[in-house]
């Protein structure tokens, strides 16, 4: 889910009767492989696994940026780096945007993704202006699938469109490496404007299993 989420949608499938969610690397990867993803309740911090239908996805090998985004990526002030500031990207994504749009990225999720990054499974793509981190995104790689978790842009004029440029760099990287799928989880106006499409969950699982089976490399 590349855009930050607000409150949990009513059509999400959540298992509140279960014990506290297991966020070990093994469980996280098993959940992603089955179409589930973790979210923390902004009020309580409790983490549960969710899934949703329809599912928003991108196809890296077919994706093309808008003319405006391509021009910004080509001529703008941003330098792209990969995995140079993973924890900083997650921390920025975890910041509340407003009282109504609080972050679902709690401390337990941040720690779990730090471990996935240490293991070479979670990655960040960052847009920099000089030595200033302007924006970026992070997610998880499993086979030829990239599970986009969140993205952010610094709220300053010099950082405008930074997360979109980082996303453009991600999609071009994945396309060159023959990735099949980018999972954006819930659809929202932001990801739809970037070119996401919605598909039923059963069709998503078919695409997901085919993508996971691919022998491709993010690095």
pLDDT tens-place string over residues 117-171: 999 999 999 999 999 999 999 999 999 999 999 999 999 999 999 999 999 999 9
pLDDT recorded at residue 17: 57
Predicted local confidence at residue 73, as pLDDT:
97
Quick check: is 69 in a domain? Answer: yes
* Over residues 49-67, mean pLDDT: 96
Tell me, what's the pLDDT at 146?
A: 98
List the domain range (segments joined by +) for residue 159. Answer: 25-212
Residue 7 lies in a domain: no
Handedness of CA 29, 162, 178, 1 (dihedral sign): positive
DSSP 120-185: T-EEEEEEEETTEEEEEEEEEEETTEEEEEEEEE-SSGGGTTHHHHHHHHHHHHHHHTT--EEEEE
Assess if residue 152 is contained within a domain. Answer: yes
Q: What are the b/e assignments for 137-156, b being 16+ CB within 10 Å? A: bbbbbbbbbbbbbbbbbbee
Is 2 part of a structural domain of the chain? no
- Residue 86 reports pLDDT greater than 90: yes
Q: How far apart are CA 52 and CA 44, in angstroms?
A: 22
DSSP category for residue 21: P
Whether 118 is in a domain gets the answer: yes
pLDDT of residue 100: 58
What are the pLDDT digits (tens) for 194-212?
A: 999 999 999 999 999 999 9
Question: The domain that contains 146 carries what CATH number?
Answer: 3.40.630.70
Q: How many domains does the chain have?
A: 1
Q: Is residue 4 part of a domain?
A: no
User: Is residue 9 in a domain?
Assistant: no
Average per-residue pLDDT for the chain:
90
| 204 is a domain residue | yes
């Amino acid at each position: 889910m590349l855009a930050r989420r607000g409150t949990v949608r009513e059509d999400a499938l959540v298992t509140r009767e279960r014990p506290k969610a297991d966020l070990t690397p093994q469980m996280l990867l098993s959940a992603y492989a089955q179409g589930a993803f973790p979210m923390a309740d902004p009020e309580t911090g409790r983490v549960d696994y969710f899934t949703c239908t329809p599912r928003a996805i991108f196809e890296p090998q077919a994706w093309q940026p808008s003319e405006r985004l391509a021009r910004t990526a080509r001529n703008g002030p941003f330098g792209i780096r990969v995995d140079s500031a993973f924890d900083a990207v997650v921390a920025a994504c975890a910041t509340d945007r407003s009282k109504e749009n609080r972050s679902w990225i709690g401390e337990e999720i941040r720690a779990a993704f730090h471990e996935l990054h240490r293991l070479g499974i979670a990655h960040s793509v960052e847009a920099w202006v000089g030595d200033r981190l302007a924006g970026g995104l992070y997610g998880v790689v499993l086979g030829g699938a990239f599970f986009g978790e969140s993205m952010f842009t610094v709220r300053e004029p010099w950082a405008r469109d930074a997360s979109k440029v980082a996303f453009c760099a991600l999609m071009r990287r994945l396309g060159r490496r023959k990735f099949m799928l980018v999972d954006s989880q819930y659809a929202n106006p932001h990801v739809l404007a970037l070119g996401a499409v919605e598909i039923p969950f059963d069709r998503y699982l078919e695409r997901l299993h085919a993508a996971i089976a691919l022998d491709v490399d993010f690095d």
